[in-house]
Amino acid sequence: MKAFQMAASRQAEADEATEEPIDLYTLEFTIGDYEFAAKPPTPSQVALLIGTSNLGSSAALGAAFRFLRGTLDRRSYNLLLTLLESGEIEQDLLLGGNEQNEGGIVDWLIEQVADRPTQAPTGSSTSSQPGGKKSTGRSPGKGSTLSS
């Protein structure tokens, strides 16, 4: 028992020595006039969300709410529920997106931690026009149909 008390007091001293608490809620976004804070989702949270997305619309929606509850800070999550309940925002804003957020909140949060976040296509170059001889994959003179 004494060892436990000593370990607990050492941990308390170490916690007091930390000057500033680490702010996990580093992702911020707005919906209308409302500000939201979220922590970056973990790979496990993303995997669970994706894994349940094929189970049907109600399971996918439930998974989205669990995902948001795990990533948004408490105030932001409660505010989001209040806005949904009052009809100020639509459910589409969570997953599918709308005019305020093209990809949806969940997609945006995942995009922020992805190795290569997907961006909306912008003026991509046109592909070259087809034409010319077709290749058989072999060089001429070595069994190619194009050799003379």
List, for residues 101-115, the tens digit of each pLDDT value. Answer: 567 899 889 888 886
Give pLDDT, residue 35.
94
Question: For residue 82, what are the domain limits?
Answer: 18-113
Residue 39 lies in a domain: yes
Mean pLDDT of 90-100: 74
Of the pLDDT bands very low, low, confident and very high (cuts 50, 70, 90), residue 59 is confident
Whether 3 is in a domain gets the answer no
- Angle at 90 (CA atoms; ends 87, 96), nearest 5 degrees: 175
Among 29-33, 60-64, 96-100, 108-112, the minimum mean pLDDT is found in: 96-100
Residue 65 located in a structural domain: yes
Domain count, the chain: 1
In a domain, 4, yes or no: no
- What is the token pair recorded at 78? 């409660």
Residue 32 lies inside a defined structural domain of this protein: yes
- The reply to whether 129 falls in a domain is no
Residue 131 falls within a domain, yes or no? Answer: no
**Which residues 6+ apart lie within 8 Å of 15 measured at CB?**
none
Judge whether 47 lies within some domain: yes
CA pair distance 112, 106, nearest whole angstrom: 10
CA distance 38 to 97: 18
